[in-house]
Chains A and B, each alone.
Chain A
């Protein structure tokens, strides 16, 4: 923070001239990028359709009212499926992430090459959206909840093992040393010194991930992988708007309840 000497005494400024200019430069770069991105999108947009959007929104909105309450009878099973996809998918991911996380953590990895491989699994799993995983698995395993469950599982491995291996790297090494001093083997050290330290994180992340997965599994049906998304895309395609609003209401409730449950359980653990 420079003081600039003037006739009337020192003047306090937040940044030097050079700092200000550098910042101005980066702001300009950012502005140029934003303008360019906007131009590309605007070129590919049919503004005529955009202008009619408010009218369209009012039209769809009026068609959605009131929600078709009787359709709920059909929706119980898809909701149950959606929750099962999320829960079983999370369980699959939890089981697979344990070895991956121990291979990826710097202090427990058997070899740097193994670590690189584990990190590669982590990144691949996270980069590919669960909907793309579902698309692939529906093709391989056929449409249905199995494809959805495995898609959720594959997508969750990355996020799961990332948080878990970070927790393993941050453990208190003194406890590991203490166990090692008793003559414990490497496996025993992991079980008695590392696992108790990361178990709360493991369960906490599991519940957190479950909440995300409930959100994720509501849309898997769009590509045929089971759950309530199947009804959603069906109703949208047949323009049954009162059913659509009912489904959206159910999705909203499911998401809110799962968020509440997840927050409560995490609150109890931490």
Chain B
């Protein structure tokens, strides 16, 4: 490239794309390190190829079950499970968001005193510590089988997600609007309601729809550990080899997620 700068030289015709990582030693180190890791990882993986090969006809049977799926058989069970999942997701989202609002306000560096900040950040970190399904295992141990356990697990998950994003959104808000409301002599609640809430609301509505979507998808597996919802039915239909029912449940889940995603996209356009 250097000789193109001197006016006498002809245009260089051996141009190469610049590499993504400019430092050569780092590039080589990453490539070699990655190759070594890959070799070791694949070498230590304990895979029974024989078993996997024998499983292929089973896979074919599973795929055949989608044509047609069986919505009719066990209809009561499937329908009940889906409804339970939906209501579990809705109530966990609502309850989780209600709890998230004070925690999120407290976890925003720019509006909370430092002891509240650390307390709320601690709550957020601990509710994000484990996957929802592990929370659900313990909720089932504590509260017994049924949707209440799933509700508790999903609510905790919602707090970790929603309060964190709310706090981050408040931290990057426009400070001059907050100041303007403050100088009118507003109370703390008026300040939150008139200066901060309008700034974060559009994004929060979109995020709450997104969280509802996550909670519904998550509620479909919480039943596997006994936490209520469609997961238990799904698991049972699987272990009883009723794949046409499994196929029906999967199709319903995918359809509901698509509807939720479409609605949330529409809602976000409408709010913004």
Contact = CB atoms under 8 A, between A and B. Distances in A.
A258 to B, nearest CB: 13
Contacts of B148: 41-42, 44-45, 50
Contacts of B94: 30, 33-34, 37
Interface string A130-161: 01100110011110111001000000000000
Interface in B209-258: 217-218, 220-221, 224-225, 228, 234-235, 238, 250, 253-254, 257-258
A158 B125 CA distance: 27
Report the contact-size class of chain A (Cβ under 8 Å from the partner).
35 or more
Interface string B70-104: 00000000000001100110110011000000000
Nearest to A251: B130
Contacts, number: 146
Interface string A213-252: 0011011001100000000100010000000000010011
Interface stretch (A53-61, A93-101, A108-116, A164-172): A53-61
A25 interface: no
Contact of A41 (B41, B129, B147, B258): B147
Given A132-B221, A140-B56, A141-B52, A84 B46 contact: no
B270 interface: no
Contacts of B55: 139-142
Q: Which of B20, B41, B58, B250 has the most CB of A within 10 A?
A: B41
Interface stretch (B2-10, B114-122, B135-143, B170-178): B135-143
B90 A37 contact: yes
Nearest to B217: A129
Interface string B39-70: 00110111110011001101100100000000
Nearest to B60: A140
Contact of B254 (A123, A196, A236, A248): A123
28 contacts: A34-B90, A34-B94, A36-B87, A37-B87, A37-B90, A38-B91, A41-B91, A41-B151, A42-B148, A50-B143, A84-B44, A84-B45, A87-B41, A123-B261, A129-B217, A129-B220, A131-B224, A132-B220, A135-B224, A135-B235, A136-B62, A144-B46, A144-B51, A146-B45, A203-B20, A219-B131, A219-B133, A236-B137
Given A37-B94, A45-B147, A49-B144, 17 more contacts: A41-B91, A44-B228, A45-B143, A46-B146, A50-B143, A50-B148, A56-B141, A60-B141, A123-B254, A136-B238, A144-B48, A145-B45, A192-B17, A196-B17, A215-B131, A223-B224, A248-B134
* Nearest 10 CB-CB pairings of A with B: A49-B144, A127-B257, A37-B91, A142-B51, A45-B148, A140-B59, A131-B221, A53-B142, A127-B254, A37-B87
Interface of A: 14, 30, 33-34, 36-38, 40-42, 44-46, 49-50, 53, 56-57, 60, 80-81, 84, 87-88, 123-124, 126-129, 131-132, 135-136, 139-142, 144-146, 149, 192, 196, 199, 203, 215-216, 218-219, 222-223, 232, 236, 248, 251-252, 255
